[in-house]
Amino acid sequence: MATLAAFSTAEAQSLGYGPPQGASFRYRTSNRLVVSQQILESENHYTLRADGIVRLTLMNSGPRLLWRLGYEELSLEIEGAFPSPRVEALRGTVVTLSTTAQGVVLDALASGVVSPGIGTQYVERAAAAFLPRLPERAATPGAVWTDTLLVTEVLQGVTAEVTTVVRYAVADTSAIAGRAVVPVEYTGTISVTGSGLIEGSRVQVEGSGRVRGHYLFDPADRVFDLHEQEQVLESTLTLMSPEQRTVGIPSRQVMNARSERVF
């Protein structure tokens, strides 16, 4: 769901994805996730780093775009509570991504070589967040729109609903690598609610956070050239045992992600 309001008389530009079928683009990616958890008297901290080179190829055009994200290089490392996965075994991972022209993800499926330490879920989630969201209508410099993103996540018996409300703003046209691009900045709020069963115990999760970032859209190639984002999420996982004993586990997650096109 999106609403758009323009505050400029300048000519509007379409920001929809839509390069020629078969077109391919390379990006250098860098992601960092820092997680802190409080379990009873113990504090757990771990950091996940993921760096790589991704080739984005449009396989099929039309209302439902089919993309291939091929990881030419993918290095994953975890510091803290878990051992690091085998980084040398990750080259060749592929994610097939189905989206709308605005970047709304319809489906994501990983194949090829996937790290046993991270699994397909992390790779699919990272791929689903790769393309920044675009407005549904043409936008001019100064245009502002809001978007509500609804995602359902299932992990270890817990189903969580993640709602993100984001406000976007289009700046004046700038340039990168000698090419005209459209800069877009955004900020938003995140809310999480969920419940489920883990080993016979009832589980509830509640959380809130914020997101901010910016991207550069290339109207000539109809893809993005740069996307940077930061997310901060604070949540509490509450477990109630069959004996009615309750334990709360607060956590904080900070994620920084950057994808830059390689010309």
pLDDT score recorded for residue 8: 38
Sign of the C-alpha dihedral computed for residues 98, 63, 130 and 234 taken in this order: negative
pLDDT score recorded for residue 120: 61
pLDDT score recorded for residue 27: 97
48: its two tokens: 């996940």
The span from the first CA to the last CA of the chain, in angstroms, equals 34
Is 193:205 a contact under the CB 8 Å cutoff?
A: yes
Is 83:117 a contact under the CB 8 Å cutoff?
A: yes
State the total domains in the chain: 1
Alpha carbons 140 and 176: distance in angstroms, whole number: 19
Is 100:24 a contact under the CB 8 Å cutoff?
A: no
166: its two tokens: 């984001």
Collect the ranges in the chain with pLDDT lower than 50. Answer: 3-9, 86, 88
Other CB atoms within a 10 A radius of the CB of residue 53 amount to: 16
Burial class (CB in 10 A: 0-12, 13-18, 19+), 186: buried
pTM for this model (two decimals)? 0.84
pLDDT score recorded for residue 121: 64
pLDDT score recorded for residue 187: 97
Alpha carbons 216 and 223: distance in angstroms, whole number: 9
Alpha carbons 112 and 115: distance in angstroms, whole number: 10
Q: Which of 47, 118, 123 is nearest to 81 (CA)?
A: 47
Q: Which of 131, 124, 130 is nearest to 108 (CA)?
A: 124
Give the domain extent around 66: 2-262
pLDDT score recorded for residue 5: 42
pLDDT score recorded for residue 4: 45
211-227: pLDDT as tens digits: 999 999 999 999 999 99
Q: Which of 53, 95, 55, 51 is nearest to 76 (CA)?
A: 51
| CATH code at position 60 | 2.30.230
116 forms beta bridges with: none
Alpha carbons 208 and 199: distance in angstroms, whole number: 26
Q: Which residue has the tokens 């904080």?
A: 252
